[in-house]
Structure 1
Amino acid sequence: MPFTDRSILQAAMAQSAIDAACRPEDFAKQENVIVLSKADPRARKYLSLPFDCHLISYGSNIVASVRADCRPIVEPFIRSYPAEHCFETPNLHVLNDALQQKGLRVCFMAEYFLPRLERLQPLDCPLPCRELHPEDFAPLYTDAWSNALCARRKELDVLGIGAYDGGRLVGLAACSADCDSMWQIGIDVLPAYRRQGIASALTSRLALAILERGKVPFYCAAWSNIKSVRNAIRSGFLPAWVELTAKSVSFVDELNRRGASSVSGL
């Protein structure tokens, strides 16, 4: 059955419900919902479940998926402020301060994008493009392509589209089969080839290829990553939902020691 904007959104909510251990309809309620997190083999592969504290909003409310001893902290917090302010300072300091009593800190904050079908089209690319498959990825697990491909989960990388200058790969959009119904897009373009429309051309074409295979493409960016957000919008995507994840103090400290940042919840 062909996709519609509504069916794409419903697929995303259904997957978020699996991840959060709630019901899809919970994301459309006006009142907030809090549930106890639990592991599920159908969840997105990069998530570490059960969550300690994880907030999701599709705009109407907040669904909080938490461990039992965090509920007395999170429940009054999400009821004290409008949903959008729960993901922003200064209100977010209230949650972070309370979670530190449990050995947790706010760690990951991400915005997720879904394609809007009337906006999605194969954008022109100034360079030749070709489709890539897992057998083509083996030599590409390097820093240059670390957004498009994930060396730690190579088995999930299923499809890509590359842009070539002569025989040299200069841009790559690839997707990982993070769950049964949705594939996540990542994009890398070599520095000398940026700001030429390559990223949006590859992203839009890959999104269409994913839809053709009966899967829903999705795109994730930190809200402050303006370049990535602009690429999503140029490529035919619009914001759909946001997530916030708290992790242990030791986990956060280790990320800071490594100078690492991520939105994947690993």
Structure 2
Amino acid sequence: NMRWLNERIEPFGQTVCFMAEYYLPDLKLLKKRECGYELKILEKEDFKDLYRPEWANALCMERKELDVLGIGAYDGGNLIGFAGCSADAKEMWQIGVDVLPKYRRQGVASALTSGLALEILDRDKVPFYCSAWSNIRSARNAVKSGFLPAWAEMTVKDIKKVDEING
């Protein structure tokens, strides 16, 4: 268990930090989903003005060179949801998704996630999705979007660094 692991790594100044589950698409379940809003594919050059807090799960300012493709949901001309993917590996692109609070629980996240996954497959890459173990909403979105759990990851970091992260 984690306590056992922490007891053994703490003498080395380390502790468990992040725990995440990773998902791969089930090609029998993955399909285009509707959400009632216009969906539009966005390319890297369209991301310039999107590096803002509301899209922090979809894009990463610190690693923006890896952000390669996205899909936006629009209410009129306003972007209300966005899924982006980063080329975290040569053949695998990781999907992240954000939906503005007012538009949540309307199927926007799953429409964006599944739509982007299909677009990634069309580009001969493997889409994958990640959620923290504690983020049940994100895990449910993965499954609703046609993904299945594939592997889990636990990250160990320096105790001082984890204390900084936890504030």
TM-score normalized by the length of structure 2: 0.98
Letter in 1 for 2:57: N
Which residue of the partner structure matches residue 90 of structure 2? 180
- Which of residues 131, 139, 145 is equivalent to 1:229? 139
Q: Where does residue 246 of structure 1 map in the other structure?
A: 156
Alignment partner of 1:208 is 2:130: no
> What are the equivalent positions in structure 2 for 1:23-172 lying under 5 Å apart?
91-172=1-82
Q: Which runs of 4+ in 1 moved over 6 A?
A: none
TM-score by length of 1: 0.62
- Aligned-residue sequence identity (percent) comes to 62
Q: 1:192 is matched with which residue: 102, 120, 123?
A: 102
Alignment partners' CA distance in 1, 2:15 and 2:92:
29
Q: Which runs of 5+ in 1 are unaligned?
A: 1-90, 258-266
AA aligned opposite 1:190 = L
In the alignment, residue 166 of structure 1 is paired with which amino acid? G
2 CA distance for matches of 1:125 and 1:134? 24
RMSD: 0.6
Q: 2: distance between equivalents of 1:176 and 1:245? A: 20
Q: Displacement of 1:255 after TM fit?
A: 0.5
Shift, 1:193, TM fit:
0.3
Structure having the higher strand fraction is 2
Flag the structure with higher helix content: 1
Deviations along 1:10-53, whole A, 9 cap, x unmatched? xxxxxxxxxxxxxxxxxxxxxxxxxxxxxxxxxxxxxxxxxxxx
List per-residue Cα deviations over 1:101-160 (Å, max 9, x = no partner): 000001111100000000000011210110101111111101000000000011111000
Aligned AA (2:27):
L
Which fold has the larger relative contact order, with Cα–Cα distance below 8 Å and residues 6 or more apart in sequence? Answer: 2
Residue type of the alignment partner of 2:66: L
Cα offsets for 1:208-262 (capped at 9, x unmatched): 00011010000000122110001000000000000111111111111112xxxxx
SS at match of 1:141: coil
Distance 1:194 1:250 in 2: 36
